[in-house]
Amino acid sequence: MSTVFIAFQTNETSRGIVEAIEEDNPTAVVQEQPAMVKVDVPDSMTIRRSTIEEKLGRRFDLQEMHVHLITLSGHIDESDDEFNLSWKQ
């Protein structure tokens, strides 16, 4: 089984994003590293705009993630409401 991951700079916005990922992906494993946070999920990961908005208490455009993103892996499928990472194999 392959793992997809995403990593963000540690800050107030990414805290909400990571909480949202944990909520929407029960198998997520969060690792805090110096100045960064990395989230691994087996097979695929879903990041939902609505959950992030709930956590941050404000409107959120998923493309705002670009500002806090460090790295990721897997195939991306992005719409206005969801950002998905997956391996096909």
Partner 1 sequence: MTMTNDATGTAKKKLGLKERYALMTRGLDWETTYQPMEDVFPYATYEGIKVHDWDKWEDPFRLTMDAYWKYQAEKEQKLYAIMDAFAQNNGHLGLTDARYINALKLFLTGVTPLEYMAHRGFAHVGRQLPGVGARVACQMQSLDELRHAQTQIHSMSNYNKLYDGFHSWRHMHDRVWYLSVPKSFFDDAITAGPFEYMIAIGFSFEYVLTNLLFVPFISGAAYNGDMGAMAFGFSAQSDESRHMTLGLEAIKFMLEQDPDNLPIVQHWIDKWFWRGYRVLTLVAMMLDYMLPKKVMSWKEAWEVYAEQNGGALFADLARYGIRPPLGWQQACDDKDHLSHQAWATFYQYQAAAPFHTWVPSEEDMAWQADKYPDTFDKYYRPRFEQWAQMEAEGNRFNNGTLPLLCQVCQIPMLFTEPGDPTRICYRESEYKGETYHTCSDGCKNIFDHEQEKYIQAWLPVHQIYQGNCFGPDADPTSPDFNPLLEVIKWYGYNVGVDNRPYEGSEDQTNFRAWKQQTTSNAPAAG
Q: What is the torsion angle, in degrees rounded to the nearest 10, for the CA atoms of residue 12, residue 3, residue 62 and residue 8? A: 30
Residue 58 interacts with partner 1 (CB under 8 A): yes or no: no
In the shown chain, the binding pattern of residues 17 to 46 toward partner 1, with x for contact by CB under 8 A and - for none, equals ----------------xxxx----------
Under DSSP, is residue 86 helix (H, G, I), strand (E, B) or coil? strand
Residue 77 interacts with partner 1 (CB under 8 A): yes or no: yes
Q: Distance between alpha carbon 83 and the CA centroid of its chain, in Å?
A: 8
Q: What residues make contact with partner 1 under the rule CB under 8 A? A: 2-5, 7, 9, 33-36, 63-64, 66-80, 87-89
